[in-house]
Structure formats: structure tokens, C-alpha cells
Amino acid sequence: MVRTFMLAAAATATAWAIASSGHAQPSQIPTPDFIRNAAATDAFEIRAGKIAEMRGLTQPVKDFGAMMTMDHAKTTAGLKKAIHAADLPAPGPVVLTPAQKQMLKDLNTVPPGGFDRMYIKDQIEVHQQALTLMQGYAHGGEIPILREAATSTVPVVQAHLAKAQEIQKTFPK
């Protein structure tokens, strides 16, 4: 419950900050915010995926974790390539949000019987947020090559979200 509130608060705060900054409409995300948030999301997904590979109880969760590790390494590489092609300075170290840090902590400490359900729930929430981020930049981003990177990432995020929702449906009620 606290984690869900933290996620909702973080998403709301980010959306509010973007919308009220005077520099961007809700569909327009400033490039530094996009880069920072996309990098943090990828880093979170890779770390959480590795945890799922180790702690997952079911094969679909383990496989999903492996897919997250692999696919988000690719999206990270694509983002770095786009940043370089746009002749932007390399971003500094990736900083996870407090909500992402809490999710990782929870994933590492949840009793084994609750891991799969928690991991997939988190994945649905995070991929919904990532989809909003990618679609927002794809439709209103300032830099064409980064818009292209966001646009090409949208179907990947949509597929991840759909797969996580499919896995969630297999859990006993």
C-alpha cells in the first residue's frame, strides 16, 4: 500500500512538475527529464529483472525477468546512441527514484511466496509509467533523434506491459 502510494505520488509529482514548469505541456517532456527518467527506468528494470531471475518461483516470472534484463539493456544502448547522435553531453550517473529504490528493497526482502505477485504488480505499474513517458516524448519531444528512440521503444514497453498483465492473470485469486 505504501509502495503504491509512493509510486502514485512520484508519478503525480513528475507530471505536475512537467505540466507546471512553463516550459512544457503535459505531452511535452523536457529532454533532460526524458533522458533521466528513461535511464532510471531501464536501470531499475535491469536490476529488478536480475532479482526476478534469482528469486522468481515460477518459470514465467524468471523468463520475464530475463527478458527485462535483455530488452532494457538494448533500450539503454539505443538511448545512449541517440544521445550521442544528437550531440548531447553524456548523462551523468543514473539515479533511481525513491520509489524504484523502495521497490528493489521490497523485492529483495519479500518472503519467497509473495515474490512473483509483487514483482509482476510492480512491472505493470512501472511499464504503465514508462509507456506514458515514451509516448509523451515521442509525440512532443524537442529532439528528433530522441523522439525516434522513444517511438521505437513504445512497442517494446507495450509488449512488456501486455506480458506482465498476462502473467498476472495466471496467479490464483
Closest CA to 114 of 171, 166, 35: 171
Number of domains in the chain: 1
Structure-block grid coordinates of residue 39: 535511464
Classify residue 126: in a domain, yes or no. Answer: yes
Classify residue 7: in a domain, yes or no. Answer: no
- Per cent of the chain over pLDDT 70 is 84
Whether residue 27 has pLDDT greater than 60: no
**What's the domain range around 98?**
41-169
Q: What is the pLDDT of residue 75?
A: 95
Whether residue 11 has pLDDT greater than 50: no
Classify residue 16: in a domain, yes or no. Answer: no
* Residue-wise pLDDT tens digits, 54-77: 999 999 999 999 999 999 999 999
Question: Judging by beta carbons within 10 Å of its beta carbon (0-12, 13-18, 19+), is residue 133 exposed, middle or buried?
Answer: buried
Which pTM value belongs to this model?
0.84
Q: What is the mean pLDDT of residues 25-46?
A: 88
pLDDT-derived band of residue 5, with 50, 70 and 90 as boundaries?
very low
The contacts of residue 107 (CB under 8 Å, 6+ apart) are 48, 51, 52, 55, 115, 118, 119, 122
HSE of 119, CA atoms in CB hemisphere, 13 A: 35
